[in-house]
Structure 1
Amino acid sequence: MSRSLTVGLDGSRVCAEAVRWAAGEASRRCLTLKLVQVWDIRPDVHTPLVGRDTEYDRPGWSPRAVASRVRDAHPGLEVVTGYVCGDPVETLCDIARKEGLLVLGSRGLGAVAGFALGSVSLSVVAHASRPVVLVRAPMESAGPSGPPSPERPAATMA
């Protein structure tokens, strides 16, 4: 098993909480933190549904930008980044099979859009052969996402 913890990045507010949780866990366990962004080459059907509850910030959510913020918050933590092209569910399931532990935000699009289109995170949990941690954003997370902080959001092992 790999001595790493991998986070799937999607640029959503709840993803910020997943990064915070994963960085804290990786630091405590002396693991490498891998930040991966999966690019789906199919037409983007989600963009019209992005609203205030998701508040995507694409440039600020590149794996390199997130890695920089994590390194600032967790000096000494080894952080590696990657981009993968493919179907998000299939790719993340493959990552979960190969890596030590996969961490995802519980919802990227929000409740209504996620229900209508299907949730990547729930699909990954349903199909992954290894454990996946889903991290929820706290209820008071109404502000924009920011750099990782020491606070630990709620996490669910699936």
Structure 2
Amino acid sequence: MTTLNELVAVGLDGSAESMAAAHWAAQEALLREVPLRLVHAEEWSSARDLAPVTSAEMHSGWAEALLRNAAVELHERHPGLSISPLSLDDRPAKALSAVAATADMLVLGSRRLGAIAGFVLGSVGLAVIHSTERPIVLVRAGDDVIAHPQEHPGDREMVVGVDIHQPCDALLAFAFEEASRRSCTLRALHSWPLPPLVGYGAAYDPRVHAQLEMSAKAGLDEMLEPWRERFPGVQVAARVLCGRAAWQLVEAGSDAELVIVGRRIRHSSVGTRIGPIAHAVLHHARAPVAVIAHP
């Protein structure tokens, strides 16, 4: 059984995206008052069968320089932060999954497609999300993620997607704790679809729509009530919307500090399924996205 350490870990690969993730992770570590671990993973030793030993030594030296330079940059901005480097000779997905299993959170960079298209979830990120039950945060490159949360007080908010028909304790625990740390308004969203017959030309009855909306809102308020009592200092804005959940979350989180989505824990040897909503949000959100595994 793995032992959980109180720390935030971040994967570094030399890209601008991974450095943006490191800055975000540094802020998170400060808010949690835990150390930050910088992790680079690359299977350089396997190249020894095809290339001279010096090739592996060069890779190792490059990794050490990468971690050292990142630590210097982060120390300059956060002089009080405890930072430790970790270079692993292993497949990135396997190594990062192992690191995630022993950390409070793992933060990864993700390549941005454009101002609206969001970012690309690569095979490593997808494999890590699927293989660990710890919180994973995906961050794209951009100046907006480098600023400290306390440098821009005011109308900051986080968005969490809630399914009122499924248990969401792990998801809501993370969302409320994070909103409390960052002094953010927490916007809780639940999306409900129109009855299937509406799409086939059936008469639209606004009274039925209103009843469905009221029922969904009552269910969302009931689910949030114990968490509101546990975190009285967190301002909560609960809203139910009609439509596809993934796109509602992407739109609502366009200017959010963090978008939080859940994924069902599935123990399957086939593929790396994380659920259609989490998958879509990860590919299209502009804000950092936290993926929380729950039963």
Query: TM-score w.r.t. structure 1 length?
Result: 0.71
Deviations 1:23-55 (A, max 9, x none): 111112211000011012356xxxxxxxxxxxx
2:82 maps to which of 63, 78, 83: 78
Identity of aligned residues (%): 34
Give the partner amino acid of 2:24: W
Distance 2:148 2:17 in 1: 14
1:32 maps to which of 27, 30, 35: 35
Q: Which residue of structure 2 lines up, in the alignment, with residue 144 of structure 1? A: none
Distance 1:63 1:90 in 2: 19
Deviations 1:86-136 (A, max 9, x none): 01111111111112211111239xx9xx78xx5211221122232211112
Aligned to 2:111, the other structure's residue is in SS state coil
Is this contact kept in 1: 2:43–2:92, CA < 8 A? Answer: yes
1:150 paired to 2:283: no
Rg larger for: 2
1:90 paired to 2:94: yes
Distance 1:4 1:97 in 2: 11
Task: Kindly indicate which of the two structures has a greater share of residues assigned to helix.
Answer: 2
Give the partner amino acid of 1:76: G
Aligned to 2:74, the other structure's residue is in SS state helix
Give the partner amino acid of 1:22: A
Q: Which residue of structure 2 lines up, in the alignment, with residue 123 of structure 1? A: 127
Give matches, 1:34-73, under 5 Å. Answer: 34-41=37-44, 42=46, 62-73=66-77
Give structure 1 stretches of 5+ with no counterpart: 44-57, 142-147
Distance 1:40 1:59 in 2: 11
Give the partner amino acid of 1:73: R
1:5 maps to which of 5, 8, 11: 8
Give structure 2 stretches of 5+ with no counterpart: 48-61, 150-256, 258-286
Q: 1:62 to 1:122 in 2, by over 3 A?
A: same
Aligned to 2:9, the other structure's residue is in SS state strand
Distance 2:96 2:125 in 1: 9
Q: Which residue of structure 1 lines up, in the alignment, with residue 107 of structure 2? A: 103
Is this contact kept in 2: 1:14–1:135, CA < 8 A? Answer: yes
Q: Which residue of structure 2 lines up, in the alignment, with residue 47 of structure 1? A: none
Give the partner amino acid of 2:135: P
Q: Which residue of structure 2 lines up, in the alignment, with residue 137 of structure 1? A: 141
